[in-house]
């Protein structure tokens, strides 16, 4: 049975980028910004989902 190699995680890929020149710093900054934005989006989605579930539960009580 062949074992498929795992893809590196986004964090390990980000940390493995060479620190050579301004382009590498800019690219790492862009990637980090995307990661932060995605994390914030997921966090907001979690809050919205929780609020909707709470609202639905309250409606069932009445």
Q: Which two tokens stand for residue 38?
A: 């995605």
The DSSP code sequence of 49-62 is: HHHHHHHHHHHHH-
Mean pLDDT over 45-54 rounds to 90
User: Measured between alpha carbons, how far is 44 from 23 in angstroms, rounded to an integer?
Assistant: 31
Q: Name the CA radius of gyration of the chain, rounded.
A: 20
**Quick check: 10 and 35 in contact, CB under 8 A?**
yes
Is 32 inside a domain boundary? yes
**Contacts (Cβ under 8 Å, ≥6 apart) of 8:** 16
Query: What value does the mean pLDDT take over residues 36-43?
Result: 88
**23 in a structural domain:** yes
Domains in the chain: how many in total?
Answer: 1
Across 47-60, average pLDDT: 88
In a domain, 4, yes or no: no
What pTM, to 2 d.p., does this model score?
0.46
Residue 4's pLDDT is what? Answer: 65
Q: Which domain range does residue 33 map to?
A: 10-61
């Amino acid at each position: 049975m062949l074992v498929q190699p795992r893809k590196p995680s986004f964090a390990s890929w980000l940390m493995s980028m060479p620190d050579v020149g301004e382009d590498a710093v800019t690219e790492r900054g862009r990637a980090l910004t995307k990661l932060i934005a995605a994390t914030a989006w997921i966090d907001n989605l979690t809050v919205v989902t929780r609020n909707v579930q709470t609202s639905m539960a309250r409606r069932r009580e009445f």
